[in-house]
Each structure stands twice: as structure tokens, then as C-alpha cells.
Chain A
């Protein structure tokens, strides 16, 4: 699971109102090389919940001094964009779980695939 995906995922346990962001508990993390495209990163940043991204990266020890808030004029800062690229696309959680911040319900991650299925009584 890449952190870009994590940024989109939310808990949908019944009754939960603050199910985002999910807390990551990782037992295995990998870093893969993905081709860097600055324009892609630039256009993606506004679609992200920035603090959730930083928090997630931090939790995995992959923060690389990313700021808690977006700096102005980041568009031209290639070094910054490369860091963002790395945490968005290259860092992957292979084994672990995602935890709903409100209910505590855990969703397992196996082979990089989070299992977000709820059981019948949870829906």
C-alpha cells in the first residue's frame, strides 16, 4: 500500500464520523523506484490531505523533514518535490494494519493489500 492510497482511504465502520486518517501499523515496509515526474507531484499535492501524509510518513520513519504545512512556492522546488514523490509513490507498506482512529477496528495489510471488508454486523 502506497501512502498516496493511504491518503485516500478512510474508515467506513458504521457510526464512525471521524474515520480519517487511518493509523498505520507497519511490520514490513519496502521502497520501490518509481519514475519521477515533477508535474505529477505538483498537481497531486492539492488533492492530498497534507497533514495526513506527513503524519503517515513520520510514523514509518520516512518523513525526510517534510514540513507540517506546505511551504509557499513549492512548485519549483525540485528537491521538495522529489521527497514528496518518494513518500507518495515509492514507500510501500507490505505487512501490517490500518486502524480506525475512532473505533479502533483494525484492517489487516497483507502482501501490500489492505483488506477493508467489514463483517456483516459492522456494516
Chain B
């Protein structure tokens, strides 16, 4: 493949790119270990061996992944960067995260991996460097839905005018990309997953939330008692992600080289100026990949998933490291509106649960949020509640499932969480005793209704204010009915203060997560409270005053 000899700039053979180099080229550089490639004119330029991809993210954000590289001829490859000898290499990992929580995810990456993550212009994606000796750490991340290793990135890919030319170029691209390191990482990742009995978040068809899914998941989860490597791994919801065993596992399974590798290409395309569809790109690029590697294409039972992500001029080629999305990991018993765990994690992180915080979810549904908290932010105590009988039972079942898994592994199984059936407008909880209220409020589309929200939201917010500790208490509330929410909030300005809002996308709906602070005002004494308790609640708040005699 690509050696690290210094090649004279010369016209590129028409097989690869049809652009002639110019003196002022090297406009589109990609760093691949010890070498740098200009993807426009395509010579290979060795760089100083201490150069790491991390340097790219610490540049001021022009959004460009490729920076002008000081061209220093060097012919001594660093052993650290030698991909083929099994030594430690550094690669860029891409992760998809719930839109709106990119910063939260970057924070988690910084905290758990120590790397500086870069947020893509294509929302819902972050990128960060990691060395292969630390690769297992990516599986400890709770805020990411999917992970992939980057093969190559183009910040400003110049697509051809016509569809035919563009697709042809994509095909040609396949054989030119620096696959080696990414494939090494993919292989390594495969062994890691076997070792830890990896959790496949298992979502199947996207965002399927109805109760049909429930039966399926429970059956699969029951079967799956051995976390060890087996071809029929099925779907598991192991919630405790931090139990990576480092003992050497059996590596009996055939190394990928010994058997025919099956692959598929998944293309995500966004932008108005493309002349081709994602299917066409996937098909043509995939065809070329198949040619080049002599792998077998298989859309459903594949070993390698190649990702081709095109967002306007940004093109990223990657290899998936997660099989199914991790985002429903804790939940085996779904309900109609179960939130994905990565979103729950993002919300929890936003309010920074402290040790021994009492955290309430007064509309817990299937318990996704408090359960994620009980697992990941386990130094707090969670009380999950709902008025619906099925909901509390599902919550309990989800909790029991996780506890049983933990018990089976021999650790103390109990989680710091309890479930209660209650009416959230009249919570059976002592005043000022809760530190954080966190919940997914009814959207009015999948559950409840817009009209109901008009009455529900103000009562809700009041009750939450009552139980929340004045001065230090917080609330993290997810809702799609932003208008109703903000209106209800202005009527309790005395009790809650808005700290921050995160705009998110939940199942295609544009929603918001509001982070609120409980003011020091005592409940029942602010002017709004006095009016509320005297008059009845009207959707158009300003008629209230007329009610008072």
C-alpha cells in the first residue's frame, strides 16, 4: 500500500484522481500514522514521526480536519505508528450521540479517556483520538449510540458534476484509502467484545417502541446467560459496562483472515447538492470495496460494516465498532415511549448528580432515566414513580433484570432505586426533601395531549417545586411541548430559574431539555403561588387575576 518514501510531485495517474497536482496543492491533507496524503494530488509525504492526529483537534476550529503539515522528509518510521507489527497505533474514533448532547458526550470522553473530542458539523457526531492500548475504554462510554473507527475524512470533498463521474470516483476511492489501521482496530475491537461479553444494545428496527418489541427482547435476554463468545450472541441488555475482564479469553474463533469476510456498506447522506442517492453511493462504493478486498457482500449477516457518511462536503469513511445501537441497553421491558439510555445519560450528566442526592422521576414510564442513574451515577438514590400500573411494573421488571444479572456475576446486586405508584400532581413526598427532579414529560403526541399539557404542566411544576430543596435543588425536564412548558414556567418564576436548555431530537421530534434551578423562595409564599392557590388554573394565565375577588 502506501509506503513512506517521499515521492516527487507528479501528475497523478488517471486511475486514481484525475486532477493534476499544482505547486500550491496539498490542500486536502490526511494524516495516516507516519504518513500524510494529499487527497487531491495524491502524493505521499512523510512527516515528523511525533505528529499525532490529536494535533488536529487542538487547532483552532476551522472545522477542517486537515491542517497544513510542515513537510519534513523523514524516513524513520516510529515503531509506535507501525500498524502491521501489532504495536500501539493511534486512530480517530467517531461516535454518534443524541443530537444536542454532543458537548456532554465530549465531556464524558475527556473524563473517561482523557482525549479532546471534536464536534462534527454533522450534528450528533463527535470524533476523538485513541491509542489501541486504550481501545476498551470506548466501550465504557454511556453517552454514545454507535462507535466507528475512521478510515479517512474529507472536510471539503469536491464532488464531480455528474452522477456518473461522482460514483466512478467513489469507486476509485475504495482502493486508495488507508484501510490498514482501521482494520487493525476493527480486529482488536472484535477480540475485546468477546472478552467482555459485550453488550449489544439491540434495537433492531430504528426507534421501535411498541410493546411487541418487549416480548422479543425478554426472550432473547433470558437465553443469553453466558456472556462468552458465541456466534449466536443474540441481544443482550447488560447494563454494567465497566466490567472488562483482562484475563486472556479463548481465541478459538477463526481469525478473520482464515474465513471469508462478509461486509456491507451503509451510507448516510445529507445535503442538497449531491447528484446521487445514498443507495447508489453505497452500492458503487461497496462494489469497489468488494473488488479490492475480495470480501463477500451480505446485508444482514456481516462481519464488517463500512460506513460512508456524507454531509454536504464532509465525507467520512469508517468501520463500525458497534453492531447494534447501544442506546437501549438497560431496558428489556419497553413501553410506548421508552427513552434511549444514551439520552437518559445525557440528561443525568447535565444535572451532575452528587453523592447521596435524592433524585426523583415522577413520570418514570419504564424507568429508563432512574435506572441509568442507578447504574452510572450510583452514589445517589433514585425514586421512580408513575401513576400507570403497567409503567411501574415494567420499571420494576427492568430493575430486577439488571439486579439479577449483577447477582449472577457475584457482585452485590442491589441498586439504589425504588419504585412507587403515585399521582405526580399530588406527590406523597415530604416537602423540600428532594435534590433533583428528572423526567421525560408527556409530549402530547405519543402520550397525553396538548390540552392535557396545559393543565398538567403548571400543576407538575408546582408539585416538583414543593418537594425540591430550595436553593440547591435542580430539575432536568425533557419535553416536546416547549410552548406550554415555557408558559407554565413563567408563572412560577419565583420558584424556578432557567439555567440551561439543550435542543434535542427524540424519535424525530424536536424537543428540549430544560435545566432548572430551584430558587430559595419557600413554597407557598411567592406571589404566583398565592394566586395559584386562590384562583383556578386557566390555560391563558392572565385571566387568573380576574378570578380573585
Q: Interface extent on B, as a size class?
A: 20 to 34
What residues of chain B lie closer than 8 Å to A44, measured between beta carbons? 356, 381
Which residue of A is nearest B356, CB measured? A43
Per-position binary interface string of chain A over residues 87-113, scored 1 when its CB falls under 8 Å from any chain B CB and 0 otherwise: 001100000000000000001000111
B174 contacts A by Cβ under 8 Å: no
Evaluate contact between A34 and B420: CB separation under 8 angstroms.
Answer: no
Stretch binding the partner chain, chosen from A5-13, A53-61, A64-72, A73-81: A5-13
Evaluate contact between A2 and B418: CB separation under 8 angstroms.
Answer: yes
Which residue of A is nearest B360, CB measured? A8
CA A32 to CA B433, docked complex, whole Å? 25
What residues of chain A lie closer than 8 Å to B396, measured between beta carbons? 111-113
Q: Which of A1, A9, A47, A112 contacts B356 (CB 8 A)?
A: A47
Stretch binding the partner chain, chosen from B36-44, B213-221, B343-351, B424-432: B424-432
A117 contacts B by Cβ under 8 Å: yes
Evaluate contact between B383 and A5: CB separation under 8 angstroms.
Answer: yes
What residues of chain A lie closer than 8 Å to B415, measured between beta carbons? 34
Distance of B404 from chain A, by nearest CB (Å): 11
Q: Which of A1, A47, A107 contacts B418 (CB 8 A)?
A: A1
B412 contacts A by Cβ under 8 Å: yes
B243 contacts A by Cβ under 8 Å: no
Distance of B414 from chain A, by nearest CB (Å): 3
What residues of chain A lie closer than 8 Å to B428, measured between beta carbons? 9-12, 107, 116
Q: Which of B355, B383, B419, B430 contacts A20 (CB 8 A)?
A: B430
Segment 330-380 of B: residues with Cβ below 8 Å from A: 355-356, 358, 378-379
What residues of chain A lie closer than 8 Å to B416, measured between beta carbons? 34, 89
What residues of chain B lie closer than 8 Å to A2, measured between beta carbons? 418
B545 contacts A by Cβ under 8 Å: no
B387 contacts A by Cβ under 8 Å: yes
CA A49 to CA B414, docked complex, whole Å? 23
CA A43 to CA B357, docked complex, whole Å? 9
Evaluate contact between A8 and B430: CB separation under 8 angstroms.
Answer: yes
A29 contacts B by Cβ under 8 Å: no
Q: Among the interface residues B358, B411, B414, B419, which one has the most CB atoms of the partner chain A within 10 A? A: B414
Segment 134-150 of B: residues with Cβ below 8 Å from A: none
B274 contacts A by Cβ under 8 Å: no
A-B contact pairs, 24 of them (CB 8 A): A1-B418, A8-B429, A8-B434, A9-B430, A10-B430, A11-B428, A12-B426, A32-B403, A34-B416, A37-B379, A39-B355, A43-B355, A47-B356, A49-B430, A89-B381, A112-B396, A112-B419, A113-B393, A113-B420, A116-B421, A116-B422, A116-B423, A116-B428, A123-B423
Additional 8 contacts, C-beta under 8 A, given A4-B418, A12-B427: A8-B383, A8-B433, A10-B429, A32-B403, A32-B413, A35-B378, A40-B356, A89-B414
